[in-house]
Structure 1
Amino acid sequence: MDLLQTDGRIKLSELGRRVRLSPAAVTERVRRLEASGAVTGYGARVSPARLGYGLQAFIRVNPHGGYTLKHPRTLELTARPEVLEVHHVVGEDCWILKVAVTDTVHLEDVLEQTSALGRTTTSIVLSSPVEGKPLLPPDRTRP
């Protein structure tokens, strides 16, 4: 799992060599991981800054009554290309959006649309020292 997450383009023969399995065995194992839903897809990680998105931010939303994640205005917001992630959370806020924008003017535009849905709190990302860590199954020996 670690190698697949670190390098999704790794050839199955190379993956097998590194984990000491035959090509047939590693192919079957990867197929089972995909079939079980443990591996949900493969893709490239891109640098938002290199694509022209100089700022990333987290927008926490406490929506007004009636607005849900399935409401048409909410769906319109979450369909924006700047909205990278949407999390439905428990706590003072209901949603956390991760957005990538070109600058503060662009962020203000996104916030205008978001604020129409409810109270917002925004945190601008200064840096992301830990990103894209591989996720392995939990250690079953821990209590």
Structure 2
Amino acid sequence: MKKLTKIDQRLDPIDRALIIAIHQNARASIRSLSRQVGLSAPGCSERLKRLEATGVISGFNVELNAQALGYTLQVLVRVKPFTGNFHSVEQLLAEMAECVVCYKITGEDSFVCHLYIDSVSHLDITLQKITPLAETNTSIIKSIHKKLPDF
């Protein structure tokens, strides 16, 4: 059994099965989840509440289909602000509508941003907002592979 938190909280096989089931379908009913993990509905509900209360589960999210929304391209942009522009770049990225996720990182670059864009020209326009303040390195995402949590 793997350690989950610094306070020595551990997940048992039912917790793991419940987390995997929710990861596959966060909208599943308590009844459906309870059947999948072999618990009664009230027992399953209590497990979920405990996992939320302890912070193991921090939320239930909606996953959007970028293409269905008209964004034909997704890109990752590594951003290295020029000297003195760190906070300006950070604010620009936070306000940029195309940026759906932005990580502040260590290393040579300061940020890695995931952008939804509708064309290469849209990408050029978006990058032109950043390049006066920072060096960028852009990669177009060809496909996304998603792995279930490894418990």
Partners in 2 of 1:73 and 1:123 — Cα distance? 19
Aligned to 1:42: 60
Shift of 1:46: 1.6
List alignment gaps of at least 5 residues for structure 2: 1-18
**In the alignment, is residue 134 of structure 1 matched against residue 151 of structure 2?**
no
Partners in 1 of 2:43 and 2:63 — Cα distance? 28
**In the alignment, is residue 92 of structure 1 matched against residue 113 of structure 2?**
no
TM-score (norm 2): 0.80
Q: CA 1:90 to 1:73, structure 2 compared with 1: closer, same or farther past 3 Å?
A: closer
Answer yes or no: is the 8 Å Cα contact 2:93–2:102 preserved in 1.
no
Partners in 1 of 2:150 and 2:46 — Cα distance? 19
How many residue pairs end up in the alignment?
133
- Cα RMSD, aligned residues only: 1.6
Shift of 1:55: 0.7
Match of 1:109 among 88, 112, 125: 125
Partners in 2 of 1:72 and 1:37 — Cα distance? 33
Q: Which runs of 4+ in 1 moved over 6 A?
A: none
TM-score (norm 1): 0.84
**In the alignment, is residue 6 of structure 1 matched against residue 20 of structure 2?**
no
Partners in 1 of 2:111 and 2:142 — Cα distance? 21
Answer yes or no: is the 8 Å Cα contact 1:77–1:113 preserved in 2.
no
Q: Between the two structures, name the one with larger relative contact order (CA 8 Å, sep ≥ 6).
A: 1
Match of 1:125 among 128, 133, 141: 141
| Secondary structure in 2 matching 1:47 | coil
List alignment gaps of at least 5 residues for structure 1: 138-143
